[in-house]
């Protein structure tokens, strides 16, 4: 599991970006969030843990959980 924080949320489109502790940014989709996170209340700055998988447009964060 990687650690990072939510960088940006595009709530009307259902996705956002996470900046990992190593400085890399990862795309995430609301479907990749753990049930403990309410996407509609998500804003930037929250600390999260996540896994990275290969997506159609590059690596993306999945299994995103509150840290």
Q: How many domains does the chain have?
A: 1
| CA–CA separation, 19 and 6 (whole Å) | 6
Say which CATH number the domain at 48 has. Answer: 2.40.50.140
| pLDDT over 90 (residue 10) | yes
* pLDDT of amino acid 36: 83
Q: What sign does the dihedral 25-22-62-59 (CA atoms) show?
A: positive
pTM of the model: 0.90
17-67 per-position pLDDT tens digit: 999 999 999 999 999 999 888 998 988 899 999 999 998 999 999 999 998
Mean pLDDT of 5-11: 96
Range of the domain at 38: 2-66
């Amino acid at each position: 599991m990687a650690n990072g924080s939510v960088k940006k949320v595009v709530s009307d489109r259902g996705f956002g970006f996470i900046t990992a502790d190593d400085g890399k940014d990862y795309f995430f989709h609301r479907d990749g969030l753990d049930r403990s996170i309410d996407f509609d209340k998500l804003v930037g700055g929250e600390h999260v843990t996540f896994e990275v998988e290969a997506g159609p447009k590059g690596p993306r964060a999945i299994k995103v959980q509150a840290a």
